[in-house]
Amino acid sequence: AQKITQTQPGMFVQEKEAVTLDCTYDTSDPSYGLFWYKQPSSGEMIFLIYQGSYDQQNATEGRYSLNFQKARKSANLVISASQLGDSAMYFCAMREGSTGGFKTIFGAGTRLFVKA
């Protein structure tokens, strides 16, 4: 079973508008971390934002916010005021485990296209 699901292979957004990238996850661990990364066409993986499973408030980092709905097991990334430079692949990831070892699992990604 997929642990991290990103159902949108590709998305378009108009410059300066907001966009939501979906991510659902599956875990039975009470303690886990959720991450979003951006991969531009140049290939590097850039960390964007983190949400802990016990965090009461949604994480925000500049124009990025994470809409965390624990009961629904979703961790959607919201990008406000889209810019042309936001065009990239976006990956949702979950880190789970125990003292025996933690692993990070990545979703398949969503490719975002920002239109001028």
Partner 1 sequence: DSGVTQTPKHLITATGQRVTLRCSPRSGDLSVYWYQQSLDQGLQFLIQYYNGEERAKGNILERFSAQQFPDLHSELNLSSLELGDSALYFCASSPAGGSSTDTQYFGPGTRLTVL
Q: What angle do CA 11, 77, 18 make, to 5 degrees?
A: 60
Please give the torsion angle defined by the CA atoms of residues 93, 62, 45 and 36, in that order, rounded to the nearest 10 degrees.
Answer: 10
One residue of 19, 24, 32, 36 binding partner 1 per CB under 8 A: 32
CA distance 96 to 108: 18
Residue 64 within binding range of partner 1, rule CB under 8 A = no
Q: 7 and 107 in contact (C-beta within 8 Å)? A: no
**Closer to partner 1 at the Cβ: 65 or 82?**
65
Residue 22 CB, nearest distance to partner 1 (Å)? 17
Q: Which stretch binds partner 1 (CB under 8 A): 12-20, 33-41, 58-66, 67-75?
A: 33-41
Q: How many residues bind partner 1 (CB under 8 A)?
A: 28
- Site for partner 1 (CB under 8 A): which residue of 7, 15, 16, 46? 46
What's at 26, amino acid-wise?
A: D
Amino acid sitting at position 102: F
- Using CB under 8 A as the criterion, which residues of the chain lie in contact with partner 1 when the complex forms? 29, 31-33, 35, 37, 43-47, 50, 52-53, 91, 95-97, 99, 101-109
